[in-house]
Amino acid sequence: MPNFGVTIFPTDKCIQPAKLASAVEERGLDSLFFPEHTHIPASRQSPFPGGGDLPEHYWRSHDPFVALAASAAVTTRIKIGTGVCLVIERDPITLAKECASLDYISGGRFILGIGAGWNKEEMENHGADFKNRWKIVREKILAMKEIWTNDEAEYHGEYVDFDPIWSWPKPVQAGGPPVWMGANSKWAYDRIAEYCEGWMPIGGTMSGGMQSLKDACAARGRDANSVTIALFGAPGDLDQVRGRIEQGFTEFVFGLPQEGADSVLPILDNYAKLAEACR
């Protein structure tokens, strides 16, 4: 049976995270995801991938881990996740601690949705290497998995390198929180097959994407059915969702507008009705 959730940029101008999380759980939905941008450089040299002007909420969003912790505190059932965390901008030891802590206090409900980002100047302000961002993301994820699963963790790579460390708490979920990749490129499939537990393409997949993922998993000796397929930015249309279920999607994440509770809650009601019709 498919699962249904929502995503929103949690900002100081819209419904607040805890209130939204409670409303999501009360309506029988399954998940809540928050994206991440630490800031947006005022230079605005990197064009917005969505075209046109960059919406204001990109530089007004709360830190996702703070917002998700608030959401975890007022819920008991729904999954909470990043959609997506910009791993390239974060220290892997600190990020591993944040993820493990959130998974622990939520009782094993955290999903780490990841991406490498698109804003070159934003990354450079963090001292990150834009050109090699995916290589760095790979090493950081692999290093975090070592921290989550080993009492004395160490990792030695080109970009991440540390000798044995102690770091607790360990995540509740065996192996650590599931890592879902938010990417649609032709390179995404092998990356998912190597170090992710899920794929969350935004709006859909490239032509032949499902088969490409199966081929990538087979090449690494992995069962493609072990990968969760989540549609991020899912259409709020019953027929389209049913069609996506037939394609193999098992998770659907609908977008919410930058509005207050009076506007957002009725939209949640509609998503809850759509989810019920698909179950």
Beta strands 179-181 and 110-115: pairing type? parallel
pTM over cut 0.85? yes
Output the pLDDT for position 203: 80
Q: Which amino acid is at 261?
A: A
Query: What is the band of 119 on the pLDDT scale with cuts at 50, 70, 90?
Result: very high
CATH of 3-278, one of 3.20.20.30, 3.30.1330.10, 3.40.50.10490, 1.25.40.340: 3.20.20.30
Q: Is the pLDDT of residue 9 over 90?
A: yes
Mean pLDDT of 11-21: 98
Mean pLDDT of 252-265: 98
Mean pLDDT of 182-209: 90
Output the pLDDT for position 208: 74
Mean pLDDT of 204-217: 85
Spans of all domains in the chain: 3-278
Output the pLDDT for position 228: 97
Output the pLDDT for position 61: 97
| pLDDT tens readout for residues 152-193 | 999 999 999 999 999 999 999 999 999 999 998 999 999 999
| pLDDT tens readout for residues 53-109 | 999 999 999 999 999 999 999 999 999 999 999 999 999 999 999 999 999 999 999
Distance CA(198)–CA(160), nearest Å, equals: 23
